[in-house]
Each structure stands twice: as structure tokens, then as C-alpha cells.
Amino acid sequence: MKAAGVVVEYNPLHNGHIHHLKETRRITGADAVIAVMSGNFLQRGEPAFIDKWSRAELALLSGADIVLELPYRFAVAQASEFAEGAISILAAARCSMFCFGSEDGRIEPFRNALALLEAEETGYEAEVRRLVKTGISYPSALSRAYRSIADTAADGSPLADLTKPNNILGFHYMKAARSIDPGMTAFTIGRTGTGYHDLGADPDSGIMSATAVRQAVRTAGITGEVLRAVPVCTARAMDRFREEHGGFGGWDRFWPILRPLIIRDGAMRLRDVAEMTEGLEHRILRAALDAASFTEFMEAVKTKRYTWTRIQRILTHVLCGMDKDEFSRLRHPRYLRLLGMTPTGRTYLNQYKEDFWLPLVSRAASSDDLMLQADIRASDLYAVGTGGRPGKDFRTPPVMTD
């Protein structure tokens, strides 16, 4: 059996994601599609809209055959580390291919961009360092340095636009694959409908971004517009989660938990939080003392240098107790955490799991493994923040669909 991998968050799953899953199977010719999915906290430093078990089931109902959890250490990290963790898991699960959605929609511009930056690595990194010193954010420095090098490329080869969010992730997937498993074949499909952050529905396809779906549901509930943009299973999962938890995951619900943690820790302890930059801890503490809401807090903390996303990731680490020492020690995935499978997925696991590079974990158990402990801690805190019951990782078996 041939397996193709996808890296996903499904926050929540919508019709554009179903298109990606269908096209992945079609263009790769895969017998099984393996999804590596973030858990209850996401790459942009946000609590998931609905929990990881619900999202895993949606993935299985929509075209994935196996769902593996991306450990917290990589799920809440900058793009390069997010990609390295995800591709490592796909490689360990013996995926020979992976497919990502992108704004470019063709693989050649990504290959060209990767070759260019490898050839110009020294100059590129020097330019990034120079730009960061001017006070701009690290992602902005990366984009500007890339544009500077791309503008001087003489051969006219098409290059991926690395200012676009999905292109950026796709580039990092390909870069990670080159070092982790050069034999993996990369595919990409063009995103359909609206852009990553657009808040309306595409008038032709009816597709909405996940951001737009979340905002629409929070504002007006599951409206007709939302029902046109998501499959029935997603609508039902959102309705069920709202009924059981009194709402959805989001920072407004976690702010009453986060704020006292910031104040309790103080600047000295905050300094040791993963991804914290020297001096930012004082800004975060001052804002926590004064702000009445999460939005007010974020507006007080963010600057041109410290983006909203980066600050949210740091706050997630504060909430989940991830410090710099633990973050630096957990450099590579240590297991494959199974969240769910279809009959096809079960067949694949039975046939190949003995050849996996990492052990398969189907249910959490008491463990001294720091990476697994971080995953369980994050899930328990998510449960507390959304009015649920901690310990679900110990009680819940993998989701199985017919």
C-alpha cells in the first residue's frame, strides 16, 4: 500500500479541506491518506475551536484514513519547526509522498525557491539578521530577505511567493523533507475559494476559510452560509461541542486562567518560558496587570517586532507550562500518537506498523516521556478552559469509522 501524507489543523474542517483530501488521493494515487493533525492548541498559538478527537473524526469522515497527532512541542512552534515535526511523523509512518495546499498551486516554484535559498544561504541568513536588528518581526525579515535574493535571480525560473501563508508552510515542508527523508515526493494543489484570513464566503464555490467559519459561528451560530461552507459532519460536531462545553475554544475563555498565571509567575519566571525574548516578559506582565480582556491585553503587548501570532504562541507556553529547557530538549518526535483510523487505515497499520521508525501509541498511559507529558498537560488544560473534564487522553481510544 502506498501512503500519502497531509499536515492539517482542521479548525474546523470545511469544504476546502475536503477538496484537498480528495485531490491528494487523486494526484498521488495513494492507497491510504495519513493526516498529521495539531492537537488542542494550534500553530498560531490558539486554542482549537473544537477538541482534537472531534476534529480527528471529521478528518476520517472526509477522506483521511489515519490521523496522527502532531505533538504539542511542534504544533505550537514557528513554521520551520512545525514542518520538521510533521514531516518527521509522516516519514516515520512510511509515507512516500505528501501533498499540501498552496497559493501557487504548482510544485516547481517551490523546488526553485528551495534551490535558490540553498545556493544563497550565507547571504540570505546575513540579510535576515540585518533586518531583524532594524526592529521588524522575524517573519517579515524572512520575507524581505527572500524577495531581495529572488529579485537578483538571473535565470527567470518561477519562484514561490513566500509572503503567502500556505506557500510559507509548503516551502518548510519541502525543506524538512529534503533533510529528513529525501525520497519523499512532494505534491501541491492550489487553494480554492477564499484566502487564509478572508472573512467572507467565495461567491462561486461557497468555500469559507476556517477563520471565517469560526467568526461566523461565534457571531450568528451555524447559519445557512456556514452550512454551505462545511460538511454536515462539521456542523454537527460544532453543535455538539457547543452544547457540551457552553461555547467553543478561544482565548477569551482561557484569559481568566492565563492572566493569574502571568501575574503569579512574574518577570523572573516568565523569562524562562519557551520562545520568550529578553525584555518581552516585562511587557507581558504590565499588560496582564492592566488589561480587562484578552484583546485589550494583546493590543497592549504587540509591536512591529512582536507579532500577534508569536505572542499567542508564547502565551500558550505560559498556559501549558513549556519552558525553554524542555522546548530545546524535545527536538524530535518520539512516538506516533494515533487519534483515529478507517478500515483502510487499520489495514495499513496492520501491514506496516512493525516497519515504522517510531513506536505507535494508541492510548496515553502514565509515562516519564516529557513530550507525551506535554501533550497530556495541554489536553487537560484545554479541557479546563472549555468546561470539560481533564484526563480524556487516558480515557479515549482512537476514533474508528466504518
103 assigned binding-site residue:
no
Could you give the percent of the chain with pLDDT greater than 70? 96
389 assigned binding-site residue:
no
d(C-alpha 62, C-alpha 382), whole Å: 25
Q: Which residues pair with 323 in a beta bridge?
A: 273
Average of per-residue pLDDT across 229-246: 98
11 assigned binding-site residue:
yes
Task: Express each pLDDT in 141-157 by its tens digit.
Answer: 888 999 888 877 656 78
Q: What is the pLDDT of residue 22?
A: 98
**Fold assignment, 3-103+167-196+334-400:** Rossmann fold (3.40.50)
Closest CA to 249 of 378, 396, 392, 374: 378
Task: Express each pLDDT in 346-384 by its tens digit.
Answer: 999 999 999 999 999 998 886 789 999 999 999 999 999
7 assigned binding-site residue:
yes
| Average pLDDT of every residue of the chain | 94
18 assigned binding-site residue:
yes
282 assigned binding-site residue:
no
Q: What is the pLDDT of residue 402?
A: 87
**Which bin fits 267, alpha (ψ -120 to 50), beta or left (φ > 0)?**
alpha
Determine which of 8-22, 63-77, 197-211 has the lowest per-residue pLDDT on average.
Answer: 197-211
Determine which of 70-79, 121-130, 264-273 has the lowest per-residue pLDDT on average.
Answer: 121-130
Cell numbers for 112: 526553485
128 assigned binding-site residue:
no
Average of per-residue pLDDT across 53-58: 99
Radius of gyration for the chain, computed over Cα atoms and rounded to the nearest angstrom: 21
Could you give the percent of the chain with pLDDT greater than 90? 84
Query: How far, in Å, are 48, 55, 355 from residue 110 at the CA level?
Result: 29, 29, 30
Task: Express each pLDDT in 250-305 by its tens digit.
Answer: 999 999 999 999 999 999 999 999 999 989 999 999 999 999 999 999 999 999 88
8 assigned binding-site residue:
yes
- Cell 452544547 sits at which residue? 243
332 assigned binding-site residue:
no
Q: Are strands 399-400 and 336-341 parallel, antiparallel or unpaired?
A: parallel
12 assigned binding-site residue:
yes
Query: How far, in Å, are 40, 202, 265, 273, 309 from residue 290 at the CA level?
Result: 28, 40, 16, 21, 21
17 assigned binding-site residue:
yes
More confident residue, 80 or 305: 80
d(C-alpha 310, C-alpha 78), whole Å: 8
Please give the helix or strand (H or E) that residue 92 lies within, else none: helix 79-92
Backbone angles phi, psi at 278, to 5 degrees: -55, 125
d(C-alpha 15, C-alpha 19), whole Å: 6
Average of per-residue pLDDT across 205-209: 81
25 assigned binding-site residue:
no
Q: What is the pLDDT of residue 203?
A: 53
> Exposure of 221 by Cβ count < 10 A (0-12 exposed, 13-18 middle, 19+ buried)?
exposed
Q: What is the pLDDT of residue 368?
A: 80
d(C-alpha 241, C-alpha 250), whole Å: 13
| Domain extents in the chain | 3-103+167-196+334-400, 117-161, 251-326
More confident residue, 306 or 52: 52
pLDDT tier at 5 (50, 70, 90 boundaries)? very high
167 assigned binding-site residue:
no
Q: How many other β-carbons are positioned within 10 Å of the β-carbon of residue 167? A: 23
323 DSSP assignment: B
166 assigned binding-site residue:
yes
How many angstroms from the chain centroid is the CA of residue 366?
A: 26
d(C-alpha 67, C-alpha 89), whole Å: 11
Please give the helix or strand (H or E) that residue 210 lies within, else none: helix 210-220
d(C-alpha 195, C-alpha 28), whole Å: 25
| DSSP H stretches of helix in 221-307 | 224-229, 232-245, 251-270, 280-290, 294-301
Average of per-residue pLDDT across 177-190: 97
Q: What is the pLDDT of residue 202?
A: 61
Q: At what angle do helices 294-301 and 308-320 cross, to 10 degrees?
A: 120
Query: How far, in Å, are 24, 95, 347 from residue 352 at the CA level?
Result: 21, 11, 9
Cell numbers for 126: 546575513
